[in-house]
Amino acid sequence: MRLPVKSSALLAAIGFLLVEAASASLSVDSQASVVVIPPTVSNGLTEAQFISSTHGLDGPKLSNINSTAFGEVWYFNTVSEDGKYSVVAFFWASPSPSLTAQLQNEKILSAQVIVREDDDIYSANSVFAETAEIFTSAKGTSGLWLGTGCSFSGSQSLSTYSVNFSSPFEITGSIILESVAPAHYKCSSAEAGVDTQILPNFGWVNAIPDAQTTVDLKINAKNIKFKGIGYHDLAWSNAPFFSKAKGSLFTEYQWAHGRIGPYSVVWLVITGSDGTNLTSGYVSRDGKVLGTPCSNVSVTPQFNTSTRQIRRFFAQIDLRHEGTLYAQLDVGGILINDAGFVAGSGGLSGGLSSEAFEHTGVASFEYYRSVQLPEMPSGPQ
């Protein structure tokens, strides 16, 4: 869906609000801008930008984050080539910084890192930040969560992101991502004027679909160093993620990012609690996008029949004249397993239908299925 006219009106409105919120007087039309996110929820309406612009692909999309908004989350992920290590990092500007629990915080700015080494899991949660400063320059964005020791810094062309942690954060060091795959939205490459919503009022941009990563972290006395593949996206909403009537916004959610041979692959399959479905596939080869389809994408999960844990995914992404990408993700290390939400990594194999051989590699995934809540007894009316 393209709404170029509406988008410029919306952008103008948001630009005005961002300038009001920011301490510096810069407009969204310039090459650089800074937005300061205050530490606590705001009163009034949360304004959201859901139509893409050319500037600041993963720049702030909300102004005035109120107590019922999901907020914004800058997400980074990496898994080592041998699958031994994986890391996820979240930079939250959200009163409810969780996909599994309905939190209600007054303070909204925090960062969280989870690291896996074989079967050992390490995690760190930051203190709440004093403010977050988000700098946007051309396409890239940098974010500083003041007082937490956590920041990320993106280059103007989106080619490199570094995610840095220092004291008082309990994990220190850096993750450097060097992009190997062009950015995209759910059903298109990174163009201006496209609808970024993956569910009503829930936006998503995949600024780095695939990257070479260099990880150097210190956890207590332990050094974790590896090279692997990485990923970065931003998700935002001015609506709540959980509601009393519908539970979470998703009843089922499947996401994965991986690399097999020359192919960078991302899939996102969502069933919303309002019955809306989204299937989005992305495949690039040697830095060129082969397709960003939203139809003829299928992902089938398979479970262990005794433990009922997620075991495998089969994915098919139709790339029209390029053929169909087939991939199988075999679940390996688990990073998060909480209230129906599972995040981890695994081996990925597959290739294009037009090819005679299969490639192998690694992938990261998330899988969520809403836990069936017991029937509420209906009270006297």
Give me the residues that bind ligand NAG (CB under 6 A), please.
45-46, 66-69, 151, 153, 162, 164, 174, 238, 271, 275, 277, 295-296, 304, 306-307, 311, 318, 320
Q: How far is the CB of 89 from ligand NAG (least distance, A)?
A: 13
- Which amino acid type is present at position 55? H
Say if CB 256 and CB 313 are below 8 A apart.
yes
The rounded distance, in Å, linking the Cα atoms of 45 and 63 is 9
Gap between the Cα atoms of 93 and 65, Å rounded: 8
Length, in residues, of the chain: 381
Tell me whether residue 29 or residue 274 sits nearer to ligand NAG (CB atom): 274
- Pairwise CA distance, residues 116 & 181, whole Å: 25
Give 252 or 261: the residue with its C-beta nearer to ligand NAG.
Answer: 252
Is beta strand 47-48 parallel, antiparallel or unpaired with respect to 62-63? antiparallel
Is the Cβ of residue 192 or residue 294 nearer to ligand NAG in the bound state?
294
CB of 278 to ligand NAG, least distance (A): 9
To ligand NAG, the closest distance from the beta carbon of 69 in angstroms equals: 5
CB-nearer residue toward ligand NAG: 238 or 280? 238
Least distance to ligand NAG, CB of residue 326, Å: 14
Output 54 or 223, the one with its CB closest to ligand NAG.
223
Q: Kindly state the helix (H) or strand (E) to which residue 119 belongs, with its residue range.
A: none
Q: How far is the CB of 217 from ligand NAG (least distance, A)?
A: 10
Residue type, 193: G
Nearer to ligand NAG, 274 or 358 (CB): 274
Secondary structure (3-state) at 253: strand
Which two three-digit tokens encode residue 221? 């006395």
Alpha carbons 7 and 275: distance in angstroms, whole number: 26
Q: Least distance to ligand NAG from the beta carbon of 378, Å?
A: 26
Half-sphere exposure of 169 (CA within 13 A, CB side): 31
CB atoms within 10 A of CB 375: 6
Nearest-angstrom CA–CA distance, 173 and 150: 10
Check: CB of residue 273 under 8 Å from CB of residue 250.
Answer: yes
SS3 95: coil
Q: Minimum distance between the CB of residue 345 and ligand NAG, rounded to whole angstroms? A: 17
Q: Which is nearer to ligand NAG, 170 or 322 (CB)?
A: 322
Residue closer to ligand NAG (CB basis): 46 or 137: 46
Residue 62 beta carbon to ligand NAG: minimum distance, rounded to whole angstroms: 9
The span from the first CA to the last CA of the chain, in angstroms, equals 44
What does the longest C-alpha to C-alpha distance in the chain come to?
66
Which H/E stretch holds residue 4? helix 4-21
